[in-house]
Amino acid sequence: MLFAGTDTSSGAMEWALSLLLNHPQVLQKAQNEIDTKTCKVRFVDESDIVDLPYLRGIINETLRLYPTVPLLLPHESSEDCISEGYNVPRGTMLLVNQWAIHHDPKLWTDPEKFKPERFEGMEGTRDGFKLMPFGSGRRSCPGEGLAVRMLGLTLGLLIQCFDWKRLSEKTIDMTEGLGLTMPKAEPLVAKCKPRQEMQDLLALL
């Protein structure tokens, strides 16, 4: 449980920061949203996340493009059935490929593009069965609430407190690695420095 809770969250954070470094205009917009909420006089708090829709859109879009668990846990059909024209006998082991669902052009406009704005007006992390990074139903991930809060707060603080830069003009490699939790093939390496407007607050730590 500890591995499942930490590896998936750290992986999602790495993907999110990589996407932001490749899309600096999105990073700037997220900083502006947080600055407006906190008035630059305090650190972003967990209770603020619900009022930061663009930050939540970044998290949703990251989990859509790079779900930390691309194949949901296996299920077994309890009865013979027909699904989408396929005969599924009782006892068949079934896997849901959520990576394919999240990249399906029939469900998403420009599915390969990073567009946090596509989640404007959406509450939570679900959009029917189009977006389900934590699974769905009775067997969905029990750590969903904790993961969303942890991602929101940690990513929010990293965006608020630091200016992030790539090591060069070359974009971050977004190649997917192999594994149950789909890591980046190349670990993220980036530069950061405290934001000028946050130095007084950071000095109090």
Decide if 80 is inside a domain. Answer: no
Predicted pLDDT of residue 181: 83
Decide if 15 is inside a domain. Answer: yes
Domain holding 16: CATH number? 1.10.630.10
For the chain, what is the mean pLDDT? 89
Domain count, the chain: 1
Residue-number span of the structural domain to which 56 is assigned: 2-69+102-203
| 81 appears as a binding residue in the annotation | no
Decide if 167 is inside a domain. Answer: yes
CA distance 139 to 130: 17
Decide if 81 is inside a domain. Answer: no
* Phi–psi pair at 27, nearest 5 degrees: -60, -45
Predicted pLDDT of residue 2: 46
Predicted pLDDT of residue 1: 46
pTM, two decimals, is 0.89
82-135 confidence digits (pLDDT tens): 988 999 999 999 888 999 999 999 999 999 999 999 998 776 555 567 888 887
> DSSP of 86-146, one letter per residue?
EEE-TT-EE--BHHHHHT-TTTSSSTTS--GGGGTT--TT--TTS--TT--GGGS-TTHHH
Could you list the pLDDT tens digit for every one of the 205 residues in the chain? 444 456 678 899 999 999 999 999 999 999 999 999 999 999 999 999 999 999 999 999 999 999 988 888 888 899 999 988 999 999 999 888 999 999 999 999 999 999 999 998 776 555 567 888 887 777 777 778 888 889 999 999 999 999 999 999 999 999 999 887 889 999 999 999 999 999 989 988 8
Decide if 85 is inside a domain. Answer: no
